[in-house]
Every structure is written in structure tokens, then in C-alpha cells.
Amino acid sequence: MKKALSVLVLSTALAGPGLAHATVTMPPVAVNLGVGTEGISGGISTQIMPRTLNLSIGLSRFEYNSHFTADNANFSSHLRLGAIPIVLAWFPFHGNFSLNAGVYINQNQVSATATPAVSGSYTINGNTYTASQVGSLSGKTHFNVAAPYVGVGWGNPFDGGRWTFLANAGAMYEGNPKVRLSATGAASNPQLAADVAAAQRSVNSKLNFLNWWPVVTFGGAYRF
């Protein structure tokens, strides 16, 4: 027993200097800021494989309010663009060019409310209704929450100086828009309910081209 204890003490003493000088190497980190089709964006990146593979997580946001008239109604709309991108960047030539793929947690949305124009009536699916018949008229567009993303990029924050110019171009697949129209008066008016449903189908069929949303971003990164 004493011999075994002596061997353990001697082994610890010999290993001590090595343990004292051991250090844990943390992966490099960079922060970025940019602007593009998803609004103002910011994020953080880390290097998985030197000059080959990076992982980035970010956040983007843009909001805009507008007013317009259509079908005898005045609309107040709210546009919200935004996403949480989680993207892998592969540098096949170990330079600045990258092939990117990942997923965007999609927050794009359009909502609108309507009030009758001067005539005091609405035209829905070709039929005219008074404001009292329709009640409150509103609509909202939804997209898939998880949107796959593919694209190309330029700039590697872990190759070169601490400051790096970044540019990315690609698209995320957010699926066909799902527009939901509602009128409070439809609950007691079957014809109005049918017309609102028909108008909803018509709008959805016209917006299918939005299933791919372009993502273009320009900005810079700083490596710590």
C-alpha cells in the first residue's frame, strides 16, 4: 500500500509542471454588423476549421408602415422583416470566397387593417358591402418559421487583419405566403364569409412567387 501511494505521489509530482503550463485554447470569435434585404443585422461568428469552416449566428430587423387605397377601402399596413440566421460558411479555396448554407428563423410578416373609403362601403370578391355589414376588416401574412438558406459570400473574419469586409448573397425558402383575411361581420353573414374566403384564396394564389426571399447583406466584422 505504501509503495502504491509513493508511486502516485511521484507521478503527480512529475505531471505537476505540465499541468501547470497547460492552457485551454478557445476558438476565435468575431462580431459583425451589416445592412441588407432583411434590414439591419448583427451577429457573432466562430471558426470551426481554420480557413475552411465558420459558424455564424445573427439577428436582423426592419419595420415599415404604409397607407394605400384599394377596392374602395383605405389600408394601413405594417411590414416586418427579420430573422435569426444560423449559417455555416465553407471556404473551398481557403480564401475569401465561401459557399453558405443554414437555416433562418423567419420573422417576416405583413399585416393590414382597412377602413371604408369615401363611399362608406367595401367591395369584396366583386360584391359591395356597407361598413356596418363588414365590421372590422384585417389581414395578416405568415411564412414558414424555419426557412432553409443557401448562398455565397465574400470575406473571412479569421483570415487576415482584425477588420474584414463581408458580403453575402443568397435566398431563403420561406414557403408560400399564408394570407389570412377576416371580417367581424362575416360571423353573421354567410355571403360575406364566402366572399372573404374567396378573396383570401385569390390573394394567396397571387403571392406564390414570394416563397423564395432574396437575402443580400453588406457589412464588416471585427475579430477579437
pLDDT in tens, 149-174: 999 999 999 998 999 999 999 999 99
Helix ranges (DSSP H) in 22-106: none
Structural domain contains residue 201: yes
The C-alpha cell that represents 113 in the structure block: 387593417
Structural domain contains residue 87: yes
Helix (H, G, I), strand (E, B) or coil at 116: strand
> Of the spans 6-15, 26-35, 107-116, which averages the highest pLDDT?
26-35
Rounded CA-CA distance 108/189 in Å is: 32
Rounded CA-CA distance 25/157 in Å is: 18
Instruction: Name residue 129's beta-bridge partners.
Output: 122
Confidence band of 72 (pLDDT split at 50, 70, 90): low
Rounded CA-CA distance 157/98 in Å is: 12
This prediction has a pTM of 0.80
Radius of gyration, CA atoms only, the chain:
28
The C-alpha cell that represents 19 in the structure block: 499541468
Contacts of 93 (CB under 8 A, 6+ apart): none
Has residue 194 got a pLDDT over 90?
yes
The C-alpha cell that represents 50 in the structure block: 481554420
Structural domain contains residue 144: yes
Encode pLDDT of 87-145 as tens digits: 999 999 999 999 999 999 999 999 999 887 776 788 889 898 988 899 889 999 989 99
Has residue 220 got a pLDDT over 60?
yes
Query: Helices H, strands E: what count in the chain?
Result: 3, 13
pLDDT of residue 103: 98
Structural domain contains residue 46: yes
- Name the residue range of residue 196's domain: 28-223
Span 213-224, average pLDDT: 96
pLDDT of residue 77: 93
pLDDT of residue 26: 81
% of the chain at pLDDT higher than 90: 69
CATH number, domain with residue 168 = 2.40.160.170
Structural domain contains residue 21: no
- Give the closest residue to 74 by CA, choosing from 147, 132, 138: 138
pLDDT of residue 16: 52
pLDDT of residue 24: 64
pLDDT of residue 75: 85
Structural domain contains residue 131: yes
Structural domain contains residue 1: no
Rounded CA-CA distance 147/104 in Å is: 5
Rounded to the nearest integer, the mean pLDDT of the chain is 88
Has residue 10 got a pLDDT over 50?
no
Report the number of distinct structural domains present in the chain: 1
Structural domain contains residue 6: no
Has residue 47 got a pLDDT over 50?
yes
Q: What pairing do the DSSP bridges indicate for beta strands 109-116 and 29-36?
A: unpaired
pLDDT of residue 73: 76
Rounded CA-CA distance 102/36 in Å is: 18
The C-alpha cell that represents 175 in the structure block: 414557403
Rounded CA-CA distance 3/189 in Å is: 95
